Amino acid sequence: MSVANEESYRPSKATDATAEAVPPPMSYPQLFARFLKFGLLAWGGPVAQIDMLRRELVDEERWISSKRFNKLLAVMQVLPGPEAHEICVHLGIRAKGRLGGVLAGLGFMLPGFLLMFALSWLYFQIEFVGTALGAAFLGVQAAVIALIVRAVHRIGEHILLDRWLWVIAIVCALAAIGRVDFWITLPAGGLVYALLVLNHRASALLVTLAAVALAAAVALWAAPTAKLVEAVVQGQASVLLIFASGLKAGLLTFGGAYTAIPFVRNDAVGRGWMTDGQFLDGLALSGVLPAPLIIFATFVGYVAGGPIGAVAMTVGVFLPAFAFSLIFYDRLEAIVENKRLHAFLDGVAAGVVGLIGATTIDLAQVTAERVPSLTVGMSIFAAGLAFLYAWKNKLNVVVVILAAGLAGWLVFPNQG
């Protein structure tokens, strides 16, 4: 779509009750300020964020009709990336063209980015080892495992809708535990499910066998060369590698920001940029901020490469969320109608659920080794998980993290 056509994004004010809902006239600074306000109030994860956008921009101000908003939301849930942020970009384009989309997206993400950037700096200015604050973060890490377990259940409810999707999720989880690379399992999962939907079971079996053969070949080739891979010194990772890691996470975030966890951790911990404990701390910090949870990537980038690394990782993660709307504004709704593509993405998403499950097991094992008392750590985990199920409020994550930190401070004195 050419720049010359951008004016077509700016519909005139509706003249009667039957006309299509349109955004009100506003300047670029007003548009930016509007979505900056949303960013400052973005507590409680994607469900709460989308509900806030729906209430104010659909029900109250009628930027878009409810029917069209629902269809837009369905499209964003199919695509990778944080849905609330993508909706902001799309509505910004609807109001003021491509520049409006960029300003809306930046306004929504900027508060969370600045807060996480500041907390990342502060994280390295404070002494943790052997202090009460370190003990508090051990309690928080146990609670973060509960957050991820709850997220896996919630995401799985929306993605694992039939037995084949369950099978794909379980197989991908087992493959991840066996150290099979996701670039083998996820495309295979998508292709297999798409073929099964089309009732091509023989072809699905062939794809499965090919994936197994490829995984075996990669394992045999990688084994003798694994010792050649050297860990990157913390804080000195390549900016290009950090950006690529963020971009990969942004492109593979299906069904919510938690699905980025295995991909970011694979690079951040696998390459020696940070420890698992620091990774869990980053997740905990993101949970108490008014921002999409994916903002934890800013912390990862900061640990890996300092301030420039934080910017590079954040740009990489959010770039797909901007790009899909900016490039394919008029074509996004066609994705919902394309059943074959939808089936492929459903299969990939099921595989991602399996990867999160495997990553959760790894992180739980790391946390169990770090806490001074396994019994107390498991108690914090169980209490946090029960609270998340019992109190369905947009601030439940914040409450769980703060309560777990207090519990860790009380029961793990000077154990950081």
Q: What is the mean pLDDT of each successive set of 10 residues along the chain, which is 416 residues long?
A: 40 46 91 94 79 90 87 77 88 93 95 94 81 84 89 85 94 91 90 93 94 89 50 74 93 76 89 89 86 90 95 94 82 69 85 89 88 90 93 83 90 64
List, in order, residues 6 or more apart from 64 with CB less than 8 Å away. Answer: 21, 23, 57, 58, 72, 91, 94
**Are the CB atoms for 367 and 148 separated by under 8 Å?**
no
| Segment holding 166, helix H or strand E | helix 163-177
pLDDT at 129: 64
What is the reported pLDDT for 9? 42
Other beta carbons within 10 Å of 336 = 15
Residue 40 corresponds to which tokens in the numbers above? 């400052």
The SS3 of residue 17 is coil
C-alpha span between 119 and 158 (Å, rounded): 33
**Distance from chain centroid for Cα 78:** 13
CA distances from 158 to 74, 146, 162, 338, 350 (A): 12, 19, 11, 19, 10
Helix intervals (H) in 2-131: 28-40, 45-53, 66-78, 83-123
pLDDT of residue 397: 84
CA–CA distance, 408 with 174 (Å, rounded to integer)? 32
